[in-house]
């Protein structure tokens, strides 16, 4: 699929405009090119309007697509796609927690889970601005629950599959949701509905791996669950865990109890809970034997993504680099490696567009006048975090999202030094933030002429981060050169003030903060991994379009190699900043002018994938 997606799909337009014997592109021909493109768009629009009026004339090439998502409707993507390919109809399906004021479409489905029947209903969400059809799916089985939890995703996916059958689209675009989660016991999905599975990061799905017995409770149909629960050893285990008499027939309540306390069983360490964990492990072995359809792995865990990868018509990643890496580096895809290798022919990649919204900062500027105005933002931020202002809590509220924040350290407002701003996750080891913190510590210890701001929401709950802060506080010679913020900050203002930002990567990076940094001219220093490698051009590899710095190597397995590589890259960036003002200004200009949105090329690639399906 990847090779087919890379082929040019507008060669007919190019041939129309440029004959092979002419080399010179005149202004007249450029106007012709635009005219042909606009005519094609208009023709596509007319075709779509005609087919809406006369659906029986529908062309096989035209597609109706359901975009399945947990988060906000992808209006930017749909608008860009509609502009380029108006003949395709993209609708959105998403979960909702509240049905007040919504139109009931009278599409109701029932599904079996946790030894009882559940229902879900479809509602219409108005989108008066973009006129996009948005469907909201509501069920008491998942409404109000944490959307990142298995307890939410499991029932939602069961209900979504049933509703999509009713909607009968040509394609389902499942964005980072395992479409066939728990479908092992369901009838084969209609072959006319093609499933495109988008994966942001395979490692993220590891947290959804669950105990086989819990998987059976969630996903087994009524007939097979009854068969499992009739097993004497299973009944004995349930009675033991729930402290029920062996003759108890209140199985629904018992299963609900087990599911609600599953996390407690896995995390607790007292003797009683350990015994429960042993019972669950024993029942897991029984599930593996009685219900082999679940495909339990050797570690006695149910993989929520394995069945989807095999059953989907194609799977794609949102990074070209990551797509290549998961197919060649087993440690990145783990136990999914064999499944990915076997399904390589139906996989590809496509970037994800993201256009940062305009934000309020002290001094706005653009790629032409930043030399005059960026420095004002830097002086403003450094002044606001001086020791005197922090002591009396006289800091501009424009720097924060709300008042719930904690500051440690301060900045010397009289210092003349490059300012490094880093936004990290509190999960420092999996995201690579530990490398960034180590690099910053090294720069400060070696008396490098830098000032550092680190922002980690909920960071003070992590003892490793607290130790890092306490070390800096104990070294008084570092006063005025660093500060730490635990809380939500106004990222654009900090990026508009900082000279560069560090973007180390542990797992595949899936965030878009680096786009915000680049928009405001904050030069990225990044790991050569995933989307960072795809979207940040190293200045030493492209002196014309370079907009940042990247490590020499891709993600290594050795922690020391990762640190040394990232540290030397940071030193390289500091050297350019200090010694080559012209190159640094070019970096800022290129970063600000980088188009991170839903470009023609990205939309064209999505259309190619849809057509191949």
Query: Among the listed ranges 61-65, 82-86, 424-428, 529-533, which one has the minimum average pLDDT value?
Result: 61-65
Contact status, residue 65 vs residue 169, Cβ threshold 8 Å? yes
Give the residue among 204, 191, 166 at the shortest CA–CA distance from 70. 204
Question: Per-residue b/e over 562-578, b at no fewer than 16 CB within 10 Å?
Answer: bbbbbbebbbbbbebbe
Rounded-to-integer distance, Cα 43 and Cα 589, Å: 38
Q: What is the mean pLDDT of residues 330-342?
A: 84
Give the residue among 497, 504, 494, 552 at the shortest CA–CA distance from 524. 504
Q: Give first-to-last CA distance, the chain, whole Å.
A: 10
Give 390-428 pLDDT, tens digit per residue: 999 999 999 999 999 999 999 999 989 999 999 999 999
Examine the pLDDT at 301 and tell me if it is beyond 90: no
Q: What is the mean pLDDT of residues 494-498?
A: 97
Q: What is the mean pLDDT of residues 359-374?
A: 92
Strands of 369-474, DSSP E: 406-411, 419-423, 451-455
Give 216-225 pLDDT, tens digit per residue: 988 999 999 8
Backbone angles phi, psi at 161, to 5 degrees: -60, -40
Give 572-606 pLDDT, tens digit per residue: 999 999 999 999 999 999 999 999 999 999 999 99
Rounded-to-integer distance, Cα 374 and Cα 505, Å: 27
DSSP state of 64: E
Rounded-to-integer distance, Cα 230 and Cα 251, Å: 11
Q: Rg of the Cα trace of the chain?
A: 27
- Say whether 183 sits in a helix, a strand or coil: coil
Rounded-to-integer distance, Cα 117 and Cα 222, Å: 9
Give the residue among 356, 309, 350, 287 at the shortest CA–CA distance from 597. 356
Q: Which domains does the chain have, with CATH numbers?
A: 62-208+306-353+601-612 (3.40.50.2000), 215-294 (no CATH), 370-596 (3.40.50.2000)
Contact status, residue 355 vs residue 596, Cβ threshold 8 Å? yes
Confidence of residue 26 (pLDDT cuts 50, 70, 90): very low
Contact status, residue 286 vs residue 234, Cβ threshold 8 Å? yes
Contact status, residue 68 vs residue 109, Cβ threshold 8 Å? no
What is residue 17's predicted lDDT score, i.e. its pLDDT?
Answer: 33
Examine the pLDDT at 300 and tell me if it is beyond 80: no
Give 516-526 pLDDT, tens digit per residue: 999 999 999 99
- Say whether 21 sits in a helix, a strand or coil: coil
Backbone angles phi, psi at 454, to 5 degrees: -115, 125
- Say whether 114 sits in a helix, a strand or coil: coil
H/E/C letters for each residue in 513-563?
A: HHHHHHHCCCEEEECCCHHHHHHCCECCCCCCCCCEEECCCCCCCCHHHHH
Angle at CA of residue 566, ends 562 and 567, nearest 5°:
115
Tokens of 557: 């397995």
CB neighbours of residue 247 within 10 Å: 7
Examine the pLDDT at 206 and tell me if it is beyond 90: no
Rounded-to-integer distance, Cα 350 and Cα 408, Å: 41
What is residue 50's predicted lDDT score, i.e. its pLDDT?
Answer: 61
Rounded-to-integer distance, Cα 306 and Cα 297, Å: 10
Rounded-to-integer distance, Cα 577 and Cα 189, Å: 57
Contact status, residue 211 vs residue 345, Cβ threshold 8 Å? no
DSSP of 359-397: ---SS---TTTHHHHHHHHHHHHHHHTSHHHHHTT---G
What is residue 303's predicted lDDT score, i.e. its pLDDT?
Answer: 86
Rounded-to-integer distance, Cα 417 and Cα 158, Å: 55
- Which of 28-37, 244-253, 287-296 has the highest mean predicted lDDT (pLDDT)? 287-296
Rounded-to-integer distance, Cα 125 and Cα 99, Å: 9
Q: In what order do the strands lie in the sheet with 347-349?
A: 103-113, 116-125, 134-138, 89-95, 64-68, 171-175, 194-199, 314-317, 347-349
Contact status, residue 315 vs residue 256, Cβ threshold 8 Å? no
Q: For the chain, give the percent of residues with pLDDT over 90.
A: 62
Give the residue among 308, 264, 563, 277 at the shortest CA–CA distance from 440. 563
Backbone angles phi, psi at 583, to 5 degrees: -65, -35
- Say whether 602 sits in a helix, a strand or coil: helix
Give 444-485 pLDDT, tens digit per residue: 998 888 999 999 999 999 999 999 999 999 999 999 999 999
Confidence of residue 49 (pLDDT cuts 50, 70, 90): low
Q: What is the mean pLDDT of residues 195-207?
A: 86
Q: Residue 521, by phi and psi: left (phi above 0), alpha (psi -120 to 50) or beta? A: left
Q: What is the mean pLDDT of residues 544-564?
A: 83
What is residue 594's predicted lDDT score, i.e. its pLDDT?
Answer: 96
Which is more confidently placed, 44 or 178?
178
Tell me the residue length of the chain: 613
């Amino acid at each position: 699929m990847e090779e087919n997606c890379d082929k040019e799909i507008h060669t007919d337009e190019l041939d129309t405009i440029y004959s092979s014997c002419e080399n010179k592109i005149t202004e007249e021909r450029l106007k012709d090119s635009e005219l042909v493109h606009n005519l094609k768009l208009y023709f596509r629009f007319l075709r779509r309007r005609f087919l809406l009026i006369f659906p029986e004339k529908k062309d096989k090439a035209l597609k109706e697509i359901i975009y399945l998502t947990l988060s906000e409707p992808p209006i930017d993507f749909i608008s860009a796609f509609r502009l380029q390919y108006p003949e395709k109809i993209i609708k959105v399906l998403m979960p909702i927690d509240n049905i007040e004021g919504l139109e009931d479409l009278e599409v109701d489905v029932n599904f079996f889970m946790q030894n009882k029947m559940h229902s879900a209903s479809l509602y219409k969400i108005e989108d008066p601005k973009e006129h996009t059809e948005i469907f909201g799916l509501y069920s008491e089985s998942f409404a109000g629950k944490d959307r990142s939890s298995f307890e939410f995703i499991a029932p939602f996916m069961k209900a979504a599959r049933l509703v999509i059958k009713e909607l009968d689209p040509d394609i389902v675009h499942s964005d980072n949701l395992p479409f066939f989660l728990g479908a092992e016991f369901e009838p084969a999905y209609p072959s006319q509905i093609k499933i495109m599975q988008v994966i942001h990061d395979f490692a993220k799905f590891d947290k959804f791996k669950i105990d086989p017995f819990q998987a059976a409770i969630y996903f087994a149909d009524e007939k097979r669950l009854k068969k499992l629960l009739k097993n004497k050893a299973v009944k004995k285990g349930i009675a033991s865990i729930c402290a029920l008499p062996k003759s108890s027939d209140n199985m629904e309540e018992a299963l609900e109890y087990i599911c609600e306390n599953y996390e407690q069983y896995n995390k607790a360490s007292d003797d009683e809970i350990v015994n429960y964990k042993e019972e669950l492990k024993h029942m897991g072995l029984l599930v593996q034997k009685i219900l082999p359809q679940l495909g339990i792995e050797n570690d006695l865990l149910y993989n929520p993504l394995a069945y989807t990868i095999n059953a989907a018509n194609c799977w794609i990643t949102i990074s070209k680099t990551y797509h290549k890496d998961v197919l060649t580096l087993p440690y990145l895809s783990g136990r999914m490696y064999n499944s990915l290798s076997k399904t390589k022919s139906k996989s590809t990649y496509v970037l994800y567009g993201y256009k940062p919204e305009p934000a309020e900062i002290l001094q706005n500027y653009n790629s032409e006048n930043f030399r005059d105005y960026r420095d004002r933002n830097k002086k403003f931020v450094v002044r606001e975090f001086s020791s005197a202002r922090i002591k009396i809590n006289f800091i501009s509220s424009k720097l924060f999202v709300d008042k719930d924040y904690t500051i440690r350290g301060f900045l010397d407002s009289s210092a003349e030094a490059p300012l490094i701003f880093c936004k990290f996750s509190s999960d420092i080891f999996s995201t690579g933030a530990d490398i960034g913190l180590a690099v910053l510590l090294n720069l400060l210890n070696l008396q490098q002429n830098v000032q550092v701001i680190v922002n980690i929401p909920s960071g003070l709950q992590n003892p490793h981060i607290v130790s890092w802060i306490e070390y800096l506080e104990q070294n008084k010679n570092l006063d005025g050169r660093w500060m730490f913020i635990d809380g939500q900050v106004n990222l654009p203002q900090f990026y508009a003030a900082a000279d560069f930002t560090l973007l180390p990567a542990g797992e595949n990076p899936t965030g878009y903060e680096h786009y915000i940094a680049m928009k405001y001219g904050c030069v990225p220093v990044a790991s050569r991994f995933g989307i960072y490698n795809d979207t940040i051009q190293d200045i030493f590899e492209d002196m014309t379009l370079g907009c940042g710095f990247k490590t020499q190597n891709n993600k290594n397995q050795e922690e020391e190699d990762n640190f040394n590589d990232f540290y030397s890259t940071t030193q390289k960036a500091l050297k350019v900043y200090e010694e080559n003002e012209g190159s640094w200004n070019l970096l800022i200009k290129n970063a600000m002018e980088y188009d991170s949105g839903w470009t023609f090329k990205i939309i064209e690639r999505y259309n190619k994938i849809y057509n191949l399906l």
